Amino acid sequence: MVEMKWENKGHEFDALRVRLKNIDTKYYIWGAGTFGIAFFEEFCEEIPIVAFVDRNKEKWGRKLCGLKILSPEEFLQGRKDEIVIVSTGMTKSAYDQLRQMGLVRHKDFFHIDEISSIYMLDKYNKVYVSDLMLSITQCCTLRCEYCNAFMPQISNPVNYDMKFIQDEIDLYFRWVDEVNILGLVGGDAMAHPRFNELLSWIGEKYYPHKVKHLEIYSNAVIEPGKETLKMFERYDVFYRFTDYSGNSGRQNIEKITMILDEHHIRYDHAKFEDWFDSGYPQLSNGITSEDGLKKFFELCDRKSCHGLWGNKLLFCGMCLNADLIDYCKLKETDYFDLGNYDASKRIELLEYYLGYNERGYMEYCKMCNGGINVNTHKIEVGKQMKI
Ligand code: SF4
Ligand code: SF4
């Protein structure tokens, strides 16, 4: 196990930095899917990528982006000391398999975000990070019983003040040079009454030089109006929603997807067989030892839901919401304080973004059942609470 507890703050990726600078280092991408393709498209001119590797035998022998897709066995036979870049969403099972094959995390294999961020820092002196999921409202048009953002548990939900949101974004971009995805979330992001104004402010000030991709997380209840659609087009916004139609009865999926299609707005209509219960209101997930918590944190895949609240940057945004409803109060060790900008701490910020922190886990990891790759508590998708 690799501990994400800081042991050598500011130097956790020194060995990787040496290898990335070595022009003889070669790379495999583990996972021939959308993340792997996106990584290839962005970095194929920067680093020598040998092939893709995938566990799905249907893909073996095929070509992707001009490279061969290998089976894990084929990869192992031909491997020398190349770096493996794990690009699948299901990191736990990928890490387990790579370890069974004798490879070591942070020596032989790295998460895609680790390679991207450290490479960009060394090559372009840029703090480049994968994502920020910025909550702009506690209001939501649905009341999902197992909402991971705990929205139904907030008795007096508010829309965050524009100035507060603008200040926190400005502060964030003092530290961060470029974020791949800035997602506006809620509740339902589109429930914010000044949603258009905020989107326009972000678009004009930060897109695309600091925000590469803008995404909206909605629930397909509120139809985007003319002004909103104009901005979706102008900033190439990606609209994401989950299909709860079996349970909510309030979604306008057909109408909204038709409008989005007419305006050529890209969207993801996610359908899940199950959701996972984060554990609320349990006070413990049963993991009590420090080692157990560190291991759980390392395996939990919340790498694409970094949160921000004022000057507090969180590795896992769920902790923020747990704090907001007084379910689990944040500890100082849980967040990275963006309050006083210090250029000498840029690498520490990147390390935090990539999972390193003072204890190797967050306070809320003691209570929560974890992200989907470690969570075994399946539940119905979008089950609504009675009003
Ligand atoms: S749609 Fe459901 S899961 Fe999403 S924020 Fe609202 S209550 Fe939570
Ligand atoms: S265990 Fe829970 S609190 Fe900890 S990182 Fe995973 S989702 Fe976040």
Q: Is 246's pLDDT higher than 90?
A: no
pLDDT at position 387, please? Answer: 67
Mean per-residue pLDDT, 196-218: 97
pLDDT at position 22, please? Answer: 94
CB atoms within 10 A of CB 18: 11
Of all helices (H) and strands (E), which one includes residue 317?
A: helix 317-324
Mutate to test the pocket of ligand 2, among 319, 328, 333, 334 (most ligand atoms within 8 A of CB): 319
| Mean of the per-residue pLDDT values of the chain | 95
Check if 14-122 and 127-379 are the same fold.
no
Length of the chain: 387
Tokens found for residue 220:
């397909």
pLDDT at position 303, please? Answer: 67
State the DSSP string of 216-276.
Answer: EE--S-SPP-HHHHHHHHHTTPEEEEE--TTT-S---HHHHHHHHHHTT--EEEE--S-EE
Report the C-alpha gap between 315 and 319 in whole angstroms.
9
Tokens found for residue 159:
């829309």
Report the C-alpha gap between 386 and 366 in whole angstroms.
29
What residues pair up with 310 in beta bridges, in sequence order? none
pLDDT at position 99, please? Answer: 95
| CA-proximal residue: ligand 1, atom 3 (nearest) | 147
Centre of ligand 2 from the C-alpha of residue 135, in Å: 17
CB 319 within 8 A of CB 364: yes
Report the C-alpha gap between 278 and 201 in whole angstroms.
34
Q: Is 386's pLDDT higher than 90?
A: no
Report the C-alpha gap between 55 and 37 in whole angstroms.
16
Mean per-residue pLDDT, 107-117: 96
Residue 378 Cα to chain centre, angstroms: 21
Q: Where are the domains of the chain?
A: 14-122, 127-379
Centre of ligand 2 from the C-alpha of residue 361, in Å: 8
Q: Domain 127-379 classified CATH 3.20.20.70?
A: yes
Mutate to test the pocket of ligand 2, among 321, 365, 373, 377 (most ligand atoms within 8 A of CB): 365
Percentage, residues of the chain above pLDDT 90:
91
| CA-proximal residue: ligand 1, atom 5 (nearest) | 187
Name every protein residue with a CB atom under 6 angstroms from any ligand 1 atom: 140, 142-144, 147, 149, 151-152, 186-188, 219
Note the CATH number of domain 14-122.
Answer: 3.40.50.720
Q: Is 372's pLDDT higher than 90?
A: no
CB 333 within 8 A of CB 357: yes
Mean per-residue pLDDT, 317-343: 95
